[in-house]
Structure formats: structure tokens, C-alpha cells
Structure 1
Amino acid sequence: MFDLHRLRLLRELKHRGTLAAVATALSYAPSSVSQQLSQLEAEVGVRLLEPVGRRVRLTEQAEILVAHTEAVLERLERAEADIATSLTDLTGTLRIASFQTAALALVPTALDLLRDRHPHLRVHVTQMEPERALSALQARDFDLVLAEAYPGNPNPRPPELEEEDLLDDPLHLALPKPPDDAHAESPVAALRSLADHPWAMEPEGTSARHWAMTLCRNAGFEPDVRFETTDLLLHLRLVEQKHAAAFLPDLVWSGHPTVALRQLPRGQRTRRIFTVVRRGRSQHPAVLACRDALRRAVSLP
């Protein structure tokens, strides 16, 4: 019988990449992690790690072990959910990761609803972009992630993660100055009119940046990106102060829009917002309660 604790360390190594990252995440010394994995190799009787430069990678046999470990951990999470369901009072800690606009527009209202219905549930919220948060969800750093998907940028999810749609959030071209004739230009022409203007966009490597760059290139120009940040409130302020053009979603507004907006080309007008959980966690009462609170937050005026 293999030691589950050591199997979990091997799984952590797969998701976190380095022994140092595993040690930091679990508050162990790197030497302790290395020693535990060496003992696991002795238990299994085959090599599980092989050096690649200064790092290590999992062998084929280690990947097999990790796949079985994922199945065991999923079953244990289902057991935890069953036990929580059998209790009359919802307690414990629910760990949520959310990107900025959802964290501002939806999460506080959802927290109000959760507090009213489940006062003994402790909710911990971290603002984090989906690209990082989904990896952390797989590593079991979070229980639920609020994520986004931009038009034409599908991101296949690992089979151990489950999505549930929350809302479609309209997207707009935000202009640094009102157009001369808001009805004369087509959406593509409106984009082209800003070809020589500075832009605010999210950083390289994000799905939002890939979508925005593709949109501009399809309109026939390479945008002059001078401001890079995941903070869409800063994007909005830069547009308000006429420093940049930007693409802004409806969720960024706390009231009425404060800048001139134009419609985007067909097929590019909404981003999908959804929640993601691990498959074994989806029926946990805290996850079900949180998803319900978020749906109700969306429906409230």
C-alpha cells in the first residue's frame, strides 16, 4: 500500500513544477520533500523523478501514479461533501479566487447572501487572474474560481475541472473622445479610427490580451499598447482622461458609463463568465451555496 501523503507530494510536484514550490506551498523544507519522494520511489520500486538541468520532471511511471492519486483525492473530496451534506449547519472555510471586475461587481453581494444564510461559513477571497487561479484550483489552493472566456478564445479545461456558466458580460470599445457621428461608422471603422491612438490592454499571456490584439489586427492595424495592467478600473480612468482607448466590459461600471462607447464587430460582443470547481468538490454544500449566491447576485438590480 502506497503512502497517500507521499503520493500527494508527487501530485503537488506535477502541478507546482519544482521541489521548492512544493515546499513553500506546504510549509516544508525542500530537503524534507525530497526525502519523502525518495521514500515513495523505494515503496514503488521504480524511478519517479529524473533530472532536467537544475529541475526534475516526472517519469512515465510517476504520471501513472499521479493519475491514480487524482482519482483517490476526488473520491475523498466527495466523501467530505457527503459528510458536510449530512450536517445541519454549514461550517468550515470556502476559498474563492476571482478576477477583478467579478470581485468588485458580484462577490460582495454574494458574500452578503452567504452570510445571511450560512453565518458560520468562513469565506476567503483572493483576487487573481484566471490563468493563475485555475492552476491553483488544480493544486487545491482554492475551492472555486470565477473565470472568464473571451470570444474566439476557448480554453480547454482538464477533465478534473467542472464549469458552470454564470453570465454573458457585454464588451465595448471605449473611446477617449466622443465620435463625430456615433451612427456613421461601422464597428470595424470605429476600431480603425483608433489605429494611431495609444491603447490600454491587459498584459501579454492573458486571454483578454490575445482577444484584444486579434480584434485590432482583424481590423487592419497593430495597436500601440502603452498601458498594460489587469486593473480594468485603471483602463477606465485612462480612457476618461483621454490617455488611451480600451475594451471595457459592462461589469466595470458601478453606475452609468462615464466614457463614449461603440459596439464591437459581431461575434465579439460578450465574454463568458463562469465558475470552476474540481469535479469531486462540485456537490459540496459550501460550493453549491456559493454558486447559488453568485447566481442571485447576478439577478439582483
Structure 2
Amino acid sequence: MFDLHRLRLLRELKHRGTLAAVADALSYAPSSVSHQLSQLEAEVGVPLLEPVGRRVRLTEQAEILVVHTEAVLERLERAEADIAASASDLTGTLRIASFQTAALALIPTALGLLHDLHPRLRVHVTQREPEQALPALQARDFDLVLAEEYPGHPNPRPTGLEQEDLLDDPLYLAPPHHKQPAETGSAVKALRALAHYPWVMEPEGTAARQWAMTLCREAGFEPDVRFESTDLLLHLRLVEQDHAAAFLPGLVWNGRPPTVPLRQLPGGRRTRRIFTVVRRGASRHPAIQACQDALRQAATLPLGQTRKGRTA
């Protein structure tokens, strides 16, 4: 029988890419990881790694082993969920990753609800964009991820992960105060009126940036992107002080009145989908189910309102 610990190291290498990354994630020495994988090769009786420059990649046989390892780990997570469900109270640590606006608008209320019902459950929250959080979820760095999907740009759906919708967040064009398009113009004309104005957008490689660039190009222009950040509060501040135009989601204000004039976007491009993602084997874990329940409740409350009805 193959050693499960060594199989997990092989799986980690599949997800993290390098021996150094595996060693860093698991607090091992790289030489120890390499030695364990060499022992696994001896157990299996075929090469599992092959050199590619300074790195290594998995052989066909190693890829087969990883598929079976994923199935074993999923079954073990289901066992863990069943054990937790048999206990009278939730304990342990739940690790959540969330992008910024969802973290600001939903997480605080959800944390309050969880604390009221399960005071012994320790919740750890990390701000992380979905592009980095979802691979980390597969690598078991997190237990639940809050992610987003922009219209016309569906996310890849990795095997072994489950999604559950939370809410649709409206998206708006936010022009600077002194560059207000005519109220009678169409949404496309309002967007086109900002063709020669500076823009703030999220960095290249993000789904939000791809969506924003597509929207501008469909309106007939290439935006002059002078500011790049994943911090949407910075986007808002640049618009407030007339430095840039932006696309902003409703969650930025968390139920408060908008601080800049907003215009509707062209039809079919007006909302982003916000959802939770968990590993399939862990989806029945009571801590994860309790967190999803709390997030659903937070999403149904008027934005800016806490669980006790106080305005934030």
C-alpha cells in the first residue's frame, strides 16, 4: 500500500508547482520533500518526476496517482465532516478567503452570527483575490472562498470544488464630477464620453480588468488606464477627487448613499455574481455549512445593517 503522506506531497507538488513551494507551505526542508518523493517512486516502481530545466514536472503515472489521491482526501474530508456533525458543538478553525468588498460588506455580520451560535469556533479570514484564493482552496490553504464572477466572463470551474450563489452585486459607471455625461444619453454614449479620460482599474490578469477592458472596447475605445489596484476604496477615492473614471460595484458603499454620481452600464453588463466555493469533500462539514448560512443571512440584510439591527 502506498504511503498517504507521500501521496499528499505529490499532490501538493501538482498544485504548487515547485518543491520549494511545497516545502514552504508545509514547513519542511526542500531536501526532505525531495527525499520523501524519491521514496514514493521506489514504492510505486516507476518514475514520478522528470526534470524540466531547473524544475520538475509530474509524469503520466504521477498524474494518475494524484487523481486517486484527490479521491482519498475527499473521502477523508467527508469522514471529518461526519465526525464534526456528531459532536454537540463546533470547535476548531475555519479558514476563509474573501476579496475586499465582500470582506467589508458581508464578513463582519457573518462573523457576529457565527460567534452567537458557535462561540468556540475560531474563524480566520484572509483578504485574497479569487485568482489566488481558488488555487489555494484546492491546495487546502483555505476551507471556504468568497469569489466573484463578472458578466460575460465565467470563471473556470476546477473539478472537486462546489459553488453556492450568495447575491448579485450591481455594477456602475462612476465618472468624475466635472465629466458628467448628459443624463439623456444612452449608457453606451455615457461610457464613450469618457474615452479620453484617465481610468482606474484592477490589475491586468484579473477577471475584473478583463471585463472592464471588454466593456470599453465594445463602446469603441481603448481606456487610458493610469491607476491599477485591487483596492476598490482607492478607486472610489480617485473618482471622488476627479482623478479618474471607474467601474464600481454597489458593495463599495455597503448600504450608504453613493458619494459620486453613478450611471447605468449597457444592458447585460450590470451585475457581478458573488458566491462561496468549498471543496466537494468538505461541503457537508458543519462549520462550513454554518458559515454559508451566516453569509446568506448577511447577504439578505440591508447593506450596512448589523445582525442586531444597528447601522454600521
User: Which of the five TM-score ranges fits, normalised by the shorter chain?
Assistant: over 0.9
Q: Is the partner of 1:286 in helix, strand or coil?
A: helix
Q: 1:230 aligned to 2:218?
A: no
> Which residue in 2 is equivalent to 1:69?
69
8 A contact 1:213–1:223 mirrored in 2: yes
Superposition deviation, residue 156 in structure 1: 2.3
User: Aligned partners of 1:300 and 1:25: how far apart in 2?
Assistant: 38
Q: CA 1:181/1:114 → structure 2, altered by over 3 Å: closer, same or farther?
A: same
Q: Which residue of the partner structure matches residue 263 of structure 2? A: 262
Give CA deviations for 1:2-32 in whole Å, capped at 9, x if unaligned. Answer: 0000000000000000000000000000000
Note the C-alpha offset of 1:183.
2.8
- Per the alignment, residue 128 of structure 1 pairs with 128
Shift of 1:178: 5.8
Structure 1 residues 27-67: Cα deviation after superposition (integer angstroms, max 9, x where no partner): 00000000000000000000000000000000000000000
Aligned residue number for residue 6 of structure 1: 6
TM, length-normalised to structure 2:
0.95
Deviations 1:101-142 (CA, angstroms, capped at 9, x unpaired): 000000000000000000000000000000000000000000
Identity of aligned residues (%): 81
SS where residue 257 of structure 1 aligns? coil
**Structure 1: distance between partners of 2:31 and 2:214:** 46
1:146: which partner in 2?
A: 146
Letter of the aligned partner of 1:244 in structure 2?
A: A
- Between 1:171-180 and 1:123-132, the stretch displaced more is 171-180
2:10 counterpart letter in structure 1: L
1:182 Cα offset (Å):
4.5
Q: Aligned partners of 2:151, 2:181: CA distance in 1, in Å? A: 27
User: Mind listing any 5+ residue stretches in structure 2 that lack a counterpart?
Assistant: 303-312
Corresponding letter in the other structure for 1:162: E
Report if aligned partners of 2:96, 2:124 keep a CA contact under 8 Å in 1.
yes
Question: Whole-Å Cα distance in 2 between the matches of residues 285 and 253 of structure 1?
Answer: 32
Tell me which amino acid in the other structure corresponds to 2:87.
Answer: L
Give the AA of the match of 1:256. P
Cα distance in 2 between the residues matched to 1:266 and 1:74:
41
How far apart, in 2, do the equivalents of 1:83 and 1:58 lie?
34
Please report the TM-score for the alignment, with normalisation by the length of structure 1: 0.99
Q: Deviations over 1:221-275 (max 9, x none)?
A: 0000000000000000000000000000000003100001000000000000000
Q: Is the 8 A contact 2:178 2:242 kept in 1?
A: no
Return the letter of the residue paired with 1:209: R
Question: How far, CA to CA, are the matches of 2:34 and 2:179 in structure 1?
Answer: 62
- The answer to whether the 8 A contact 1:151-1:268 is kept is yes
Q: Secondary structure at the match of 1:260?
A: coil
Post-superposition CA distance 1:164-215 (Å, at most 9, x none): 0000000000010266565311011011100000000000000000000000
Read off the aligned partner of 2:259 and give its amino acid letter.
T
Equivalent runs, 1:27-42 vs 2, <5 Å: 27-42=27-42
**Structure 1 unaligned residues grouped into runs of 5+:** none
1:285 equivalenced with 2:286 (yes/no): yes
Aligned mates of 2:58, 2:237 — CA distance in 1: 46
Deviates more, 1:151-160 or 1:96-105: 151-160
* Runs of 4+ more than 6 Å apart: none
| Paired residue type of 1:287 | I
RMSD (CA atoms) = 0.9
2:137 maps to 137
Q: Is contact 1:178-1:260 (8 Å) kept? A: no
